[in-house]
Each structure stands twice: as C-alpha cells, then as structure tokens.
C-alpha cells in the first residue's frame, strides 16, 4: 500500500475501505463479532438470509485482509472460532457511527 | 420504517444503512459533497473510473433516500447542483470515521 500521504494515495485507501465494507453482509458480520468471538454456526444463525456459501466466502476475504482471525479450539469437541483483529475491531468501532446514524435517520 | 426500538427493527436499520453505503461509489460521492455542493460534471471528474450512467443512477438513488438534494441554479448558465441534506451530511460525518480507519490501517 502506498504509504505516502498524498491525495491520490489517500483516496485509494478510502476506495479500498469502501470496497471492503461495500461487500454485502461484511458490516453485519463485523457488527456481530464486535462484542465477542463467535463460531461459524453462530454467525450463520444470526444472519438467516445469508447463505453458508456466501458466509464462507466473506469470512475468507475478511481473514485475508486481516480483519478477522480464525482460531481452532482444541479441547473436545474441536471447533474453530472467529474473532476481530485489532484492525477489525477498530473498523467495527468506526462502523458504530454509521449504525448510530441509521438509528437516528432511517 | 418501523419506529419501535426492538432488536429486529434495529438490525433492519443497520442492514438498510449498509445497503445504502454498500453500493459502489456512494461513499466517495458523499465524501466529495461533504465540504460543498457540486455540479454533476465536477463529481464525475473527481471520480474518473465512475461512468456517467452509473453516477446518474447513484445520484437518483441518493436523492430518493433523502441523502442528497438537487437544486437548479437559475442564473445564466442555468445548471443543477447537488448538496447533502442534513441526513446526508450526518452520514458523511459518520463515514469519516471509516476514512480515518482506512488511513491508519490500509
């Protein structure tokens, strides 16, 4: 990523951020992980209209851009859990401003 | 819109907000209108990769959901200008938090 603080670089960062949060369901997934880590099945049940296939895709994308972390819990039964990284948590906090807007204006 | 502050109603509002800002280019358009009203051509030149057709669509959608206002300036040459409504301005302020996140983390 171009680190220099130039007009062009900054707008690329904004566009990149808006591409990340623009993907359907991403913001809601981040919203649900903000308070605590969750298992795939828990997230899937919280967003009924989101298919398992799309949720799998979104989780992979979010993992790839360092917004969520997948951990394997080894004690029986072995299971995996998703949590926000610091980067993801900070995005979640920023998105809460959009949610406050929504509660007021929609 | 369901005014009662229930779990279901709130998440519908979040989903609605994320659908609005999830549309490609919407956040950048709001970003550029945050400081001052602009003409269609000005917005179009600020976002070169956005086609006139898609920009026209986005402006109509944003007008329909009360986020932007289109005013006709009657002194010669007659032209139309777009500005954020209070609702739109508040969304722009909320989105600035996402932009600060982007500057720090991307």
User: Sign of torsion, CA A4 A6 A8 A14?
Assistant: positive
Q: What angle do CA B67, B36, A96 make, to 5 degrees?
A: 50
**Consecutive sets of 10 residues in chain A, 106 residues long: mean pLDDT of each?**
50 88 92 95 92 95 96 86 97 97 96
- The interface predicted TM-score of the complex, written ipTM, equals 0.86
Cβ-defined contact of A93 to B98 (cutoff 8 Å): no
Q: What is the pLDDT of residue B4?
A: 36
Is residue B95 less than 8 Å (CB to CB) from chain A? yes
Is residue B2 less than 8 Å (CB to CB) from chain A? no
A7-105 has which CATH code? 1.10.10.10
The 10s digit of each residue's pLDDT in A45-75 is 999 889 999 999 999 999 999 999 999 988 8
Q: What is the pLDDT of residue B89?
A: 98
Cβ-defined contact of A27 to B16 (cutoff 8 Å): no
Q: What is the pLDDT of residue A6?
A: 54
pLDDT at B105 over 60: yes
Measured CA to CA, the distance from residue B71 to residue B25 in angstroms comes to 21
Mean pLDDT calculated for residue range B25-47:
94
């Amino acid at each position: 990523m171009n680190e220099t603080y130039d007009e062009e670089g900054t707008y690329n960062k904004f566009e990149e951020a808006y591409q990340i949060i623009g993907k359907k369901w991403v913001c809601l997934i981040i919203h649900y992980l903000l308070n605590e880590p969750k298992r795939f099945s828990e997230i899937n049940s919280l967003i009924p209209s989101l298919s398992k296939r799309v949720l799998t895709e979104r989780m992979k994308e979010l993992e790839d851009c360092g917004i969520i972390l997948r951990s394997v819990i080894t004690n029986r039964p072995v299971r995996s859990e998703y949590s926000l990284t610091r980067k993801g948590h900070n995005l979640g906090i920023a998105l809460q401003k959009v949610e406050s807007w929504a509660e007021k204006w929609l």
